[in-house]
Structure 1
Amino acid sequence: MATNERIFVQAIRSYGARHGIDVDVRADGWLIAMRRGDMRRFAFGYDIGLNSAIAHRLANDKSATSEALSLQGLPYIPHHLFLNPKLGRNVVGPDWREAMLALLHDHPQGVVVKPNEGTSGRSVFKVTTPTQLDRAASEVFSMSTGLVISPYIAIEDEVRVVLLDDAPLVVYSKQRGSDWRHNLDAGAKPVLLEDGATRSACVTLAADAARAIGIIFASIDVVRVDGAWRVLEINSGVMMEALGKLHPELVQATYDAALDRVFRNEG
């Protein structure tokens, strides 16, 4: 096994070796073909292939997730969509910049600008001035067909819940470092949550969010703002690289459970 492989890839290799599944890793680990007899399944990125196409697309679209949660009356952090002006005036409309500035005006504490799709906190900007807003929008539009703007809020705690069929397999908080973000790639540390009121509240909200878009296997980020929990985002690809370095057995068991579901393996 290559030592530089992602933990996700290593976990699938391990599962395959223990269950008689041929594992063929392609594209530097981003495409994985799994075969047992006549059954073939694929993993792509961090998506293990359990979710429907529409659930996957909703989860990967921050604006769509926000709208779906709103329809269910769940507490969430709003994400306002703006399409790349390169798509054309007929698609984007003439007043997109004015609408961005209006959001900034309505939130003098600042707003957060980030790609509508994507993970790991890349190209995420906190802005408080029109100049910063233009710079952030230009950066995001240079690599994305759309961006979202959400109000900057003081997040007291952030918790990630990994669910499989509504069952919480992993629940941990993200302990922020010196950065204002709680992203693990930005230096936050994962800390497993013990049973208690906080864990119970986060699991309940995460399960409600998963049902709102019909997703089976996902990691759901919830945040506490002014003492109340809200959904931040839903991730169809379940990435546990940072957690896997601290709790490899737990991460392997989580992927094992998901792969059991993929292959309908009861033993």
Structure 2
Amino acid sequence: MAISQRIFVDAIRKYCAGHGITIEVRSDGWLVVMQRGSQRRHAFGYDLGLNSAVAHRIANDKAATSEVLALAGLASVPHSLFLNPRLHDHVPPSGSWEVMLALLAEHRAGVVVKPNEGTSGRSVFLARSQPKLELAVNRIFASHASLAISPYLDIAHEIRVVLLDEEPLVVYGKNRPSVVGDGERSLLELAIAATSAERRAAVLRGMTDDLDKHELDAIVPAGERRMLNWRHNLDAGSRPMLLRQGEIRDTCIALAAKAASTIGIRFASVDVVSVDGRWLVLEINSGVMMEGLGRLHPELAYAAYEAALDKVFAAPST
């Protein structure tokens, strides 16, 4: 799908058409210029311009978000920052490798290594050994200025809350793909058979990134359920499931709203995870991307962007 055909851009087009706003889509959809009378507004990437520069920068920095939330006493997943050795003027004289190894030794279940800035679960690796950690670090530093390391957690549920001024617009869970063994077929064969053509590439990409050939070719015992990916990202094959009214939904909304308030962000999606019965903030996304949700529930994505755009054009020009 071309960038200019994203639901985000389409939602802006529809809003502008219905509110007498002229629109120019440039840079293949990355830049959108909107004007109504003297009001001139811009959208860039997935950012509609409601958030302050500082709130945007904190949310876009996983380690900074973790630090701010921890200082405020909010339950969150810790992320440790490491700078690319190319930025040697800012790297401690002792280097970072020993600290990374110490984190790996501390968290016996493994660590998650990811770009410190970025979305969609790209270049996110699970490392349970020193060679895997070294490989992940080298891959990320090949194209990023920094990375973040967090403990690998056995996440039971991951919930995304899209907020506008601390009010929930959309709340949904991310259901990871899984298969049940029949005692005859391999994990890879089961995955191919159980996955639709449109989701197959994403699901298989996540599997082959994490599993070796032996694991993929191993026969899954009859009746045994296997998750196909440890990640919950929609881009990795998970499916969005709307959360019904209830205690879990209320708990996630309350925690997400506190997190958004803590960093002072207005329009954002907050990922909240359940670990051993405890809810934690995983990350905050300043750019609200709803492409995966929009494929199943386009009306919710359009309504969320419309509510945000109402706020954009309600604000006085600056």
Q: Could you tell me how far apart the structure 2 residues matched to 1:144 and 1:166 are?
A: 32
> Which of 234, 237, 253 is the matching residue for 1:184?
234
Give CA-to-partner distance per residue, 1:141-178, whole Å, 9 cap, x none.
11111000000010000000000011100000000112
State the aligned residue count.
Answer: 263
CA shift for structure 1 position 3: 10
Q: What amino acid is the match of 1:231?
A: V
Q: Could you tell me how far apart the structure 2 residues matched to 1:134 and 1:247 are?
A: 40
Q: Could you tell me how far apart the structure 2 residues matched to 1:206 and 1:174 are?
A: 16
Q: Could you tell me how far apart the structure 1 residues matched to 2:35 and 2:166 are?
A: 27
Q: Secondary structure at 2:154's aligned position in 1?
A: coil
Give the structure 2 partner of residue 241 of structure 1.
291
CA shift for structure 1 position 4: 6.7
Query: Runs of 4+ in structure 1 displaced over 6 angstroms?
Result: none
Give the structure 2 partner of residue 20 of structure 1.
20
Residue pairs, 1:120-199, within 5 angstroms: 120-177=120-177, 178-199=228-249
Q: Secondary structure at 1:131's aligned position in 2?
A: helix
Q: What amino acid is the match of 2:71?
A: L
Q: What amino acid is the match of 1:245?
A: R
Q: Could you tell me how far apart the structure 1 residues matched to 2:301 and 2:87 are?
A: 41
Q: Secondary structure at 2:260's aligned position in 1?
A: helix
Q: What amino acid is the match of 2:35?
A: R
Give the structure 1 partner of residue 90 of structure 2.
91
Q: Secondary structure at 1:92's aligned position in 2?
A: coil
CA shift for structure 1 position 47: 0.6
Give CA-to-partner distance per residue, 1:73-116, whole Å, 9 cap, x none.
0000000000000111x311223100000000111110000000
CA shift for structure 1 position 27: 0.8
Q: What amino acid is the match of 2:276?
A: D
What's the TM-score once normalised by structure 1's chain length?
A: 0.97
Q: What amino acid is the match of 1:182?
A: H
Cα RMSD (Å): 1.2
Q: Could you tell me how far apart the structure 2 residues matched to 1:209 and 1:4 are?
A: 31
Structure 2 stretches of 5 or more lacking a match? 178-227
Give CA-to-partner distance per residue, 1:176-229, whole Å, 9 cap, x none.
112110000000100110110000000000000000100000000000000010
Give CA-to-partner distance per residue, 1:21-54, whole Å, 9 cap, x none.
1111111111111111111111111011100000
Q: Could you tell me how far apart the structure 2 residues matched to 1:246 and 1:123 are?
A: 26
**Radius of gyration: which is bigger?**
2
Q: Contact 2:3/2:29 (CA < 8 Å) preserved in 1? A: no
Q: Secondary structure at 1:206's aligned position in 2?
A: helix
1:211 equivalent in alignment to 2:265: no
Q: Contact 2:113/2:127 (CA < 8 Å) preserved in 1? A: yes
1:257 equivalent in alignment to 2:307: yes
Q: Secondary structure at 1:181's aligned position in 2?
A: coil
Q: Secondary structure at 2:113's aligned position in 1?
A: strand
Give CA-to-partner distance per residue, 1:217-252, whole Å, 9 cap, x none.
000000000001000000000000011111111111
Q: Could you tell me how far apart the structure 2 residues matched to 1:250 and 1:97 are?
A: 45
CA spacing shift, 1:3–1:136, aligned 2, 3 Å: closer
The percentage of counterpart residues that share the same residue type is: 62
Structure 1 stretches of 5 or more lacking a match? none
Q: What amino acid is the match of 2:30?
A: W
Q: Could you tell me how far apart the structure 1 residues matched to 2:95 and 2:22 are?
A: 53
Q: Could you tell me how far apart the structure 2 residues matched to 1:204 and 1:166 are?
A: 9
Give the structure 1 partner of residue 66 of structure 2.
66
Q: What amino acid is the match of 1:235?
A: N
Q: Could you tell me how far apart the structure 1 residues matched to 2:137 and 2:122 are?
A: 13
Name the stretch that deviates more: 239-248 or 200-209: 239-248
